[in-house]
Amino acid sequence: MIYLDNNATTRLDDRVLNTMLPYFTENYANAGSAHLAALTVSEAVANAAWQTANLIGAKEEEIIFTSGATEAINLAIKGLANQYRKHIVTIVTEHKAVLNTCEFMESIGFEVTYLQVGSDGVLDLNVLNESITDKTLIVIVMIINNETGITQNIEAISELAHAKNALFMCDATQAIGKIPVDVEKLKIDLLPLSAHKFYGPKGVGALYISAKAKLKLLPQLHGGEQQRKLRSGTLNVPGIIGLGKASEIAVNELESDQKRITKLRDKLENGLLNFEGSFVNGNTENRIYNTTNICFPGVVSETLILALQDISVSNGASCSAVTSKPSHVLKAMGLSDDDALSSIRFSLGRFTTETEIDLAIERILDLAKKLRV
């Protein structure tokens, strides 16, 4: 299998797996218990919190572990339901975890402004500034789009939000572990992340919560009041240990990963653009180094994806790798239904090889030419 769908999920790094294993079979105590075995586990969890916080320039007490980014997003947004300000500003190209949660907030009386992006996928900061009012509770904009890899000017966006006393949440699920992210420098109040997007295990993530945001948040899960009373439930210790180790590795290997993967992504993209009429969707300057989203006019992406068999790619968000509906992200960028349905996302990772890229280019070009309508 040639796996080019790393924005959907990544392979678990062997180093992460080996660090996790003892917490399944040896150090399996409940971190919330009072005996010595539990205290040993609790210390390991605290270390994982430090590792995760260190990756994003935060403090360990600002980290709440969750089941993944989706839960973190729900806690961050729904946790603000009791605030007197009832206005949310976000963009139409956000992940469905944000958009659907915002729709829920509308159903309980909030007003949500969904801002459009340009054909390059980038948000107009002037439009954003005009949309934030004295009633705006929170501005929500992701760092990196999961489908196109397009990046937004997060530092400028957070500045605009804070200038009008609004909170700023940044979905960093596709950024963490790939590029440097510093919540202090970027002045982010709430930041969800997920371990399986950067070579950690599935089923675990975290929410960074600034001191300002913590004062406003209500828990969404009630029970034993674990994790500073913001998220109850027995901790997923092996998963948390895995997230911590993945964070530690990312700190040390961000630069080397970026250099190697950038070359492979560019080689793949340049090769696939030999298909007549093909083009890259979105801004090729402001994007993450591992992602390219390419339109193959006249080729139904769903058909091509299935024909590729042992080459894994997708034509939408990671939660719907093969779908007959056009991507809401590409539609928002002005693509026609036909072009959106002819587009494929390729996302490379730490374990992608040059040999795989060479084979993928050959196979994809050959099949695309045969399948062209």
**Whether residue 301 sits in one domain with residue 229:** no
Residues 71-85: tens digit of each pLDDT: 999 999 999 999 999
Residues 3-26: tens digit of each pLDDT: 999 999 999 999 999 999 999 999
Per the annotation, the verdict on 319 as an active-site residue is: yes
b/e burial code for range 232-250 (CB count within 10 A of at least 16 → b): ebebbbbbbbbbbbbbbbb
- 3-state SS assignment for residue 205: strand
Tokens of 233: 């439930």
pLDDT of residue 320: 47
**Whether residue 18 sits in one domain with residue 99:** yes
Query: Which one is catalytic: 102, 170, 295, 319?
Result: 319
Mean of the per-residue pLDDT values for the chain?
95
**Whether residue 186 sits in one domain with residue 82:** yes
Residue 189 pLDDT > 50, yes or no? yes
Q: What is the CATH number for 341?
A: 3.90.1150.10
**Whether residue 223 sits in one domain with residue 128:** yes
Which pTM was predicted?
0.95
Q: What is the CATH number for 91?
A: 3.40.640.10
pLDDT of residue 317: 57
Residues 285-342: tens digit of each pLDDT: 999 999 999 999 999 999 999 999 999 999 875 554 445 789 999 999 999 999 999 9
Q: What's the mean pLDDT in 158-168?
A: 98
**Whether residue 223 sits in one domain with residue 267:** no
Q: How far apart are CA 227 and CA 66, in angstroms?
A: 10
Q: What's the mean pLDDT in 260-271?
A: 98
User: What is the domain extent for residue 279?
Assistant: 2-9+254-371
CB atoms within 10 A of CB 61: 14
Contacts 24+ apart (CB under 8 A), 218-221: 218/78, 218/79, 218/80, 218/81, 218/82, 219/75, 219/79, 220/74, 220/75, 220/78, 220/79
pLDDT of residue 183: 98
**Whether residue 211 sits in one domain with residue 337:** no
Tally the domains of the chain: 2
**Whether residue 179 sits in one domain with residue 79:** yes
Q: What's the mean pLDDT in 35-52?
A: 96
pLDDT of residue 198: 98
